[in-house]
């Protein structure tokens, strides 16, 4: 409803009903119930999944059902108290997310002045902000995401606790943080989300080693690699190009990996061994904060491990590297490094040029004999016939 009123095309629709999840399953045979904290019904229509939520009610104040339902910090573990549509609206996170579209008479139902905040461009949390953030710390990340996505300003009382409660994110399961980060950084506003997370001190809770490395300078200049990576992600999404979480995490964790690799190189390790060890150490510590599924972490390692192979530009090595399944991702990563001043610009230009040549000129470029590629295929010259000499038959 929010996006429709803003003139945007909704990514999906959230369905809310007074029917319980079990009742929804009785109506739809192709229904599956999911979730512990929030019991939801997923109704399958071919490849489409319609998520149906039951109206949530207000929590009991007598404390009779609190044990086992929330932690000491106030974070909710289970929240399956059902109620009316009005109670459900007042329990939503932000006022602009508490609007309902009634399909019976095609009207907009607003219990929390969400329409007013939508017109004013204000993101406001329903209820006491500190209590709501403690109930679910991920709401702090959602505040950053919606403010960036919608271009809204955050109301002062909603914004104030963002500076103070970042440490609550440590109690959120790493797998859930992984899902939230994909929404933050793969929605077209990665750079804005990154800057806001750092502004509120939340980025360091998610990527502590990256935050620490960003406080240093490289060759007397601030480290801009992550910023360029976020901007590049936004551009690719705007242009409709694919973006993989593996490349995203390779960018976010590169600075601590690079610094650790330099330490190992100083201790006498080879480039490849140093890179592999540094990558393993950083990833092992990072997954304790934010989970990275193995199908992505393996690609992250490959992108990193291929970087030193770009240095070898003679013989058959360039050809073998160019046929590697992760070459394109590793090459794009090299370009980002060159743009930020961390890698040699001439090296990146060489590999760009190499890919533009045909096989004959690629071989000439990598032969090391100093010949300049022509940019087109050469025809083999026919051998000259031996001229007959005097006295020959």
| Catalytic residue numbers, as ranges | 12, 14, 93
CA distance 297 to 348: 25
- The tokens for 156 are 């002062």
Q: Which helix (H) or strand (E) holds 49?
A: strand 48-54
CA distances, 162 to each of 133, 142, 204, 273 (Å): 9, 11, 13, 41
- Residue 54 gets the label, from left (phi > 0), alpha (psi -120 to 50) or beta, of beta
CB under 8 Å to 174, separation ≥6 — which residues? Answer: 287, 288, 289, 290, 291
Q: Which residue has the tokens 């939230």?
A: 180
Q: Which helix (H) or strand (E) holds 48?
A: strand 48-54
Which of 194, 138, 135, 133 is closest to 158 using CA atoms? Answer: 133
CA distances, 75 to each of 68, 88, 135, 169, 174 (Å): 11, 19, 4, 10, 15
Alpha-carbon Rg for the chain in angstroms: 28
DSSP 325-387: TTHHHHHHHHHHHHHTTSS-HHHHHHHHHHHHS-HHHHHHHHS-S-PPP-SSPPPPPPPPPPP
């Amino acid at each position: 409803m929010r996006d429709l009123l803003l003139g945007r095309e909704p990514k999906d629709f959230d369905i809310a009903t007074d029917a319980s999840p079990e009742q929804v399953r009785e109506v739809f045979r192709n229904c599956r119930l999911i979730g512990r904290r929030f019991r939801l019904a997923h109704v399958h229509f071919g490849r489409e999944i319609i998520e149906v939520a039951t109206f949530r009610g207000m929590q009991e104040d007598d404390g009779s059902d609190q044990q086992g339902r929330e932690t000491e910090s106030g974070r909710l573990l289970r929240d399956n108290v059902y109620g009316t549509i009005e109670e459900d609206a007042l329990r939503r996170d932000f006022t602009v997310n508490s609007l309902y579209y009634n399909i019976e008479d095609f009207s907009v139902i607003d219990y929390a002045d969400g329409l007013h905040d939508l017109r004013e461009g204000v993101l406001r949390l329903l209820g006491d902000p500190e209590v709501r953030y403690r109930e679910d710390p991920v709401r702090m990340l959602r505040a950053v995401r919606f403010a960036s996505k919608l271009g809204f300003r955050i109301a002062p009382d909603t914004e104030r606790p963002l500076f103070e409660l970042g440490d609550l994110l440590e109690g959120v399961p790493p797998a859930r943080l992984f899902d939230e980060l994909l929404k933050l950084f793969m929605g077209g506003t990665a750079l804005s989300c990154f800057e806001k997370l750092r502004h509120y001190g939340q980025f360091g809770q998610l990527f502590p080693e990256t935050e620490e490395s960003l406080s240093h300078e490289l060759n007397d200049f601030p480290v801009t690699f992550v910023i360029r990576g976020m901007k590049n992600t936004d551009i690719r999404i705007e242009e409709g190009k694919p973006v993989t979480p593996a490349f995203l995490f390779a960018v976010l964790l590169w600075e601590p990996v690079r610094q650790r690799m330099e330490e190992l190189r100083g201790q006498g390790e080879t480039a490849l061994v140093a890179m592999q060890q540094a990558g393993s150490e950083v990833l092992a510590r990072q997954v304790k904060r934010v989970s990275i599924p193995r199908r992505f972490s393996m690609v992250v390692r490959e992108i990193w491990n291929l970087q030193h192979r770009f240095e070898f530009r003679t013989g058959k090595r360039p050809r073998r590297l160019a046929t590697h399944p992760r070459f394109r991702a590793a090459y794009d990563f090299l370009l980002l490094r060159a743009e930020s001043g961390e890698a040699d610009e001439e090296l990146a230009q060489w590999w760009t040029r190499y890919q533009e040549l045909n096989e004959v000129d690629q071989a000439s470029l990598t032969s090391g004999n100093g010949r300049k590629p022509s940019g087109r295929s050469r025809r083999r010259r026919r051998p000259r016939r031996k001229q007959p000499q005097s006295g020959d038959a």
